[in-house]
């Protein structure tokens, strides 16, 4: 028998500039839930605009967003880059209004909500940055420390993933008390603390598989979770496991290669479209005073069609990437699950656990980690190049947003693979091979 899961709702606020991080967060939460459901009987849920709101009418759009999402969330997670956002009747932007509402809730009852805030350090072309918007972000950021808010900076999606997965896990383990957060402010210590479900079977608590290290917290690995969730109808041996591992590794390599080629091809298409748009702009500048309004209109139409064509290219890329990311995830989990099975089976005989084999496995994992880090960096560079292309039409703006989201998901999956490889590498380092020392 298992306990009823408690749901912790995370409301993510921020501008479209951090769409990649928002998408990555959903992937992170999916992974964390596998651990938290077992260790803490907790599951995380992400809500955000526009994904989790529906059409409605109010005094203004932000008021309607606040009405729909209300104060039902348990954690407000704010994200800002170089843009502060659109003003509302009550604040400098929707993100600021959502932050202020959450902070007011926290001050009224610190058990009701937690507030996280992250700032993305821009690597964009400085000439494309809106200085006024950036100054508003800076003013807001500078004000937080004086109000007792501890925030964190990050450089890119990969670093955000590294930070937030530890922060969320530690927060739940250290401060969630079953129905509310641990009191922080002095006035809340006099309130009655919530208790956990006393009727839950005691054996459920801590009844999870051996855990690996994630940053500075103990968590279960993805591969361990995959192995434990399966019931094999047939017991395989070392050779079958290793053959399955190699099949999955080859499939993963093919998927990565295909995705890299797709990104390079997309980059070339965007560069070509950008160059064509620039030529049209130059032609427009040349004739705007002599060509007449019809000529100017024709050039504007031609430019718009060219940009929309680029948007269509991005949409095709996104559709392909969605499938590829899921394939990547499946191959990665299968690869590590079978490798762990193979290593476990090899311990039954001396040859499989020899110093030479352990060394080979460590070298292979170290090489994989190096390759994946390079791939993750190239995804980030591609993401940055797409973000710097001006959104001259609504179609391109929407396509660029979808591209940022799928790239954020891909970066998250690559980061999970690196984490798993590093955990396994450490385990092999701690292992004492037969006939030698670790």
Residue-range domain boundaries for the chain: 6-190, 238-430
Name the nearest CA neighbour of 379 among 219, 288, 263. 263
225 three-class SS: helix
Distances (CA, A) of 403 to 19, 266, 313, 420: 9, 11, 11, 26
Q: What pTM was computed for the model?
A: 0.80
Task: Let me know: does 392 contact 307? Beta carbons within 8 Å.
Answer: yes
Per-residue pLDDT of the chain (438 residues; tens, 9 = 90+): 456 889 999 999 999 899 999 999 999 999 999 899 988 899 999 999 888 889 999 999 999 998 988 778 999 999 999 999 999 999 999 999 999 999 999 999 999 999 999 999 977 777 778 899 999 999 999 999 899 999 999 999 999 999 999 999 999 999 999 889 999 988 777 665 544 444 343 332 332 333 333 334 444 455 544 444 444 445 678 888 889 999 999 999 999 999 999 999 999 998 888 888 888 878 777 766 655 577 778 888 888 898 899 999 999 999 999 999 999 999 999 999 998 888 888 776 655 556 777 788 888 889 999 999 999 999 999 998 888 888 888 999 999 999 999 999 999 999 999 999 999 998 887 654 444 333
DSSP 194: P
Q: State the Cα–Cα distance between residues 114 and 111, nearest whole angstrom.
A: 8
DSSP 193: P
pLDDT at 431: 57
80 three-class SS: strand
pLDDT at 349: 61
Task: Let me know: does 120 contact 21? Beta carbons within 8 Å.
Answer: yes
Task: Let me know: does 265 contact 313? Beta carbons within 8 Å.
Answer: no
- DSSP secondary structure of 296-314: HHHHHHHHHHHHHHHHHHH
pLDDT at 8: 95
How many Cα atoms sit within 13 Å of 348 on the Cβ side? 7
CA 72 to chain centre: 23
Distances (CA, A) of 104 to 31, 115, 181, 436: 31, 10, 16, 61
Distances (CA, A) of 363 to 247, 332, 357, 369: 19, 18, 10, 10
Maximum CA extent, the chain: 87
pLDDT at 5: 87
Rounded to 10°, the helix 292-346/394-430 angle is: 20
Q: What is the CATH T-level fold of the domain 238-430, as seen in this structure?
A: Glutathione S-transferase Yfyf (Class Pi); Chain A, domain 2 (1.20.1050)
Q: State the Cα–Cα distance between residues 429 and 423, nearest whole angstrom.
A: 10
396: phi > 0 → left, psi -120 to 50 → alpha, else beta; which?
Answer: alpha
Q: State the Cα–Cα distance between residues 177 and 269, nearest whole angstrom.
A: 52
Name the nearest CA neighbour of 16 among 82, 62, 88. 82
User: ∠ CA 37-19-154 to the nearest 5 degrees?
Assistant: 80
* Pair of tokens at residue 419: 């984490």
In CATH terms, are 6-190 and 238-430 the same topology?
no
Q: State the Cα–Cα distance between residues 31 and 19, nearest whole angstrom.
A: 19
- DSSP secondary structure of 364-393: HHHHHHHHHHHHHHHHHHHHHHHHTS---S
- DSSP secondary structure of 109-155: -TTS-EEEEEEEPP-S-GGGS-HHHHHHHHHHHHHHGGGT---EEES
Q: What is the CATH T-level fold of the domain 6-190, as seen in this structure?
A: Rossmann fold (3.40.50)
């Amino acid at each position: 028998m298992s306990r009823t899961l408690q749901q912790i709702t995370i409301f993510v606020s921020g501008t479209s500039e951090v769409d990649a991080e928002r998408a990555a967060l959903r992937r992170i939460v999916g992974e964390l839930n596998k651990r938290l459901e077992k260790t803490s009987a907790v599951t995380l849920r992400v809500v955000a605009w526009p994904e989790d709101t529906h059409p409605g009418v109010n005094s203004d759009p932000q008021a309607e967003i606040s009405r729909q999402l209300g104060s039902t969330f348990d954690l407000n997670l704010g994200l800002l880059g170089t843009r502060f956002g659109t003003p509302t009747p009550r604040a400098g932007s929707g993100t600021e209004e959502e932050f202020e509402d959450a902070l007011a809730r926290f001050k009224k009852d610190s058990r009701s909500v937690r507030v996280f805030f992250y700032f993305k350090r821009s690597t964009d072309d400085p000439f494309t940055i809106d200085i006024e918007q950036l100054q508003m972000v800076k003013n807001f950021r500078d004000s937080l420390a004086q109000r007792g808010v501890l925030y964190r900076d990050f450089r890119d999606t990969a670093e955000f993933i590294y930070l937030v997965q530890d922060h969320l896990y530690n927060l739940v383990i250290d401060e969630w008390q079953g129905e509310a957060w641990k009191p922080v402010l002095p006035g809340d210590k006099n309130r009655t603390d919530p208790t956990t479900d006393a009727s839950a079977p005691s054996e459920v608590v801590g009844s999870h598989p051996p855990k690996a290290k994630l940053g500075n917290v103990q968590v279960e690995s993805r591969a361990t979770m995959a192995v434990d969730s399966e019931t094999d109808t047939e017991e395989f041996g070392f050779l079958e496991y290793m053959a399955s591992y190699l099949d999955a590794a080859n499939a993963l390599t093919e998927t990565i290669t295909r995705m890299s080629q797709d990104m390079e091809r997309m980059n070339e298409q965007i560069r070509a479209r950008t160059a064509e748009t620039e030529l049209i702009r130059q032609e427009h500048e040349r004739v705007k005073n002599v060509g007449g309004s019809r000529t100017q209109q024709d050039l504007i139409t031609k430019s718009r069609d060219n940009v929309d064509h680029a948007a269509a290219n991005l949409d095709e890329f996104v559709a392909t990437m969605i499938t590829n990311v899921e394939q990547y995830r499946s191959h990665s989990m299968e690869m590590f699950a079978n490798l762990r099975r193979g290593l476990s089976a090899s311990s039954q005989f001396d040859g499989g656990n020899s110093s030479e084999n352990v060394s080979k496995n460590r070298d292979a994992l170290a090489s994989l980690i190096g390759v994946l880090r390079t791939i993750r960096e190239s995804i980030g560079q591609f993401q940055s190049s797409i973000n710097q292309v001006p959104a001259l039409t609504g179609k391109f703006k929407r396509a660029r947003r979808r591209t940022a989201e799928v790239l954020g998901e891909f970066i998250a999956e690559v980061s999970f693979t690196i984490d798993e490889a590093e955990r396994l590498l450490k385990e092999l380092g701690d292992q004492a091979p037969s006939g030698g020392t670790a």
